[in-house]
Each structure stands twice: as C-alpha cells, then as structure tokens.
C-alpha cells in the first residue's frame, strides 16, 4: 500500500511562508482569485502491507512520533492501493 501524508501548520498558527507566497501571487495578478494559502509538505511512502487499516494505523503512529510536530502541525493520511 501507499501512504500519502500531508502535513501543515494548524489553523491559528501563523503560516509565514503561506502568507509571503500569497502576497507574491497578489502582486503578479492573482489578487482576485486567491483567498488563502497554506504551505505544507507531503510525504509519500510505500508500505510493506496489504491491509488498509494497518497502513493507516502505522502511518498515524509515525505522524504522532516523528513526521508531524503536533504542537504546531496537523496531518492528513491518504492510503492508496
């Protein structure tokens, strides 16, 4: 299975990179269309397992222990076959 993990700053935690990117898009002509930007990171991993529930549970443990810092970040896990 494959786990796609999206990690970003929590709502309410100022995302400076998102803000700077938003500002730059504004200045190059996208001010009307762009409402908000959050910049995060994506981790894609191939897993040695065929069971979706196990894949999700293990990826969750990885996020809690290492991949995300839950003081400031949220994560979302997408499992694919």
Partner 1 sequence: MLVAVLQFPGTNCEYDTKYAFEKLGAEVTIVWHEETSLPQNVDLVVAPGGFSYGDYLRSGALAKFAPIMDAVKTYAANGGKVLGICNGFQILAETGLLPGALKRNDNLHFISKHHHLKVVNNDNAFLQELAVGDVVNIPVAHHDGNYYIDEDGLQELKDNGQILLQYCDKNGSNKVLNGSVSQIAGVCNKEKNVFGLMPHPERAMETLLGCDDGVKMLQGFFK
Q: How far apart are CA 54 and CA 75, in angstroms?
A: 17
Min dist CB 71 to partner 1, Å, is 4
How far separated are the first and last CA of the chain, in Å rounded? 5
The 3-state DSSP composition of the chain as helix, strand, coil percent (nearest 5) reads: 40, 30, 35
- Stretch 14-33 residues interacting with partner 1 (CB under 8 A): 14, 16-17, 20
CB under 8 A: which stretch of 22-30, 44-52, 54-62, 65-73 binds partner 1? Answer: 65-73
Residue ranges binding partner 1 (CB under 8 A): 9, 13-14, 16-17, 20, 66-67, 69, 71-72
């Amino acid at each position: 299975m494959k786990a796609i993990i999206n990690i970003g700053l929590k709502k309410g935690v100022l995302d400076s990179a998102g803000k700077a990117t938003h500002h730059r898009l504004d200045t190059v002509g996208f001010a009307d269309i762009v409402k908000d930007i959050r910049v995060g990171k994506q981790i894609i991993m191939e897993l040695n397992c065929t069971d979706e529930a196990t894949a999700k549970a293990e990826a969750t443990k990885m996020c809690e222990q290492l991949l995300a810092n839950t003081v400031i970040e949220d994560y979302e896990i997408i499992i694919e076959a």
